[in-house]
Structure 1
């Protein structure tokens, strides 16, 4: 493995972990404080060099510079309306809602993903009964896979990663992230949706993945 390839895998791994924490969990004071303490946004790579990425970085930095504990509730409410409700979520985070005509949770695509994970030995210890096709959980799996690829460029694992992205995540993730950008009430989630999309685009470029064209129902 070349040094540059190893560095790419390490970078993809560390960014996937952050995106997992941002997209899967309710925002916490600890998360925000760590982003500030470790200057995460200042060092976040600009993959495309686009104006959208640059603006997202500026917006998140500005948000964090003025952030205080009193804003935690507003951020939690934003996260809730985007991903959970109590009314209809603005940016449903589960893939089957986009991929099934009836827009159901735990649909056929979820079952196929569960079989894929079982075959690959991927499992989760979750605090709640959460469908495994939550966009935030995909980033947890990417975290694990890129961590392994940074140590050993295993072609079998690389092929597994490509299948995970091409068949199970990329067909719908851009739609979900675009809805986050459209409906987020805070620059924090609006910006991270742009970061997540740019990240996935860069992974596709690095791994030479062509996303499958799939009909979406939301």
Structure 2
């Protein structure tokens, strides 16, 4: 199970973190474009197979023009970069903080949790630690390196807000790739939650 959790986090994180044109996740986009959705869904961990098949189908269809397709890149920037207001911001505190701010209380709580366990932040840059891509990557790292901390991380930090965000993202996406990504990630995380028997206290959302 831990290997499957690590695979899911590693497979999904780059699509949230990397611009298709200028990022360094070209190999991930190429691998996704080459998938047979039905065959891949049968092997994809945790997600319900029918949902995984539909979501993967959307992602593969969205890559028909390749990762270099400008429409794909523009959608990534619209959703995750700006400068216009983002319809589904990828940071947890935007949803859980009363002021809907980046680097809010939940970000600081995650940072303190990581520091208390000697867990270094993953990746460079100045992104807050509660960016969905960084948190999926951290899920994979914990599954491989700190499995004893995985459930606490999922229950107290990632699963508190990610399902809400992913629902917002699926509704806001205007490109099949990112709608499929949101749906696949949501189904995968729900499967992980159920498989590990986690009870998550859902906070109040302000957005």
TM-score, normalised on structure 2? 0.87
Cα distance 1:49–1:127, how it changes in 2: closer, same or farther (>3 A)? closer
Larger Rg: 1
Aligned to 1:56: 55
For the structure 1 residues 215 and 69, does the alpha-carbon distance in structure 2 shift closer, same or farther, using more than 3 Å as the test?
A: closer
Structure 1, gaps ≥5 residues long: 1-7, 150-156
* Alpha-carbon distance between aligned partners in 2 of 1:174 and 1:205, rounded to the nearest angstrom: 13
CA apart distance, 1:128? 2.0
Please identify, of 186-195 and 54-63, the stretch whose mean Cα deviation from structure 2 is larger. 54-63
Aligned to 1:4: none
| Structure 1 position 68, deviation (Å) | 3.0
Pick which of 163-172 and 46-55 moved more. Answer: 46-55
Contact 1:20 / 1:137 at 8 angstroms: preserved in 2? Answer: yes
Residues 47 and 188, structure 2, Cα contact 8 Å, conserved in 1: no
How many pairs are equivalent?
Answer: 200
Please tell me whether residue 130 in structure 1 is matched to residue 127 in structure 2. yes
Give CA deviations for 1:20-61 in whole Å, capped at 9, x if unaligned: 111122124443223335x38542427453654332122223
**Aligned residue in 2 for 1:34:** 31
Cα 1:48–1:135 change in 2 (3 A) is closer
Query: Does the 8 Å contact 2:62/2:176 carry over to 1?
Result: yes
Partner of 1:145: 142
Question: Which of the numbers 162, 177, 186 marks the counterpart of 1:197?
Answer: 186
Structure 1 pair 15–69 and aligned structure 2 pair: CA distance change class (3 A) = closer
Between stretches 184-193 and 51-60, larger displacement belongs to 51-60
- Structure number with higher helix proportion: 1
CA shift, 1:70, in A, is: 5.0
Partner of 1:120: 117
1:54-90 CA deviation, whole Å, 9 max, x = no partner?
32122223333x223651x211111111122211111
- Residue 74 in 1 paired to residue 60 in 2? no
The answer for unaligned runs of 5 or more in structure 2 is none
Question: What is residue 111 of structure 1 aligned with on the other side?
Answer: 108
SS state at 1:22 partner: helix
Distance 1:13 1:208 in 2: 18
Moved over 4 A (4+): none
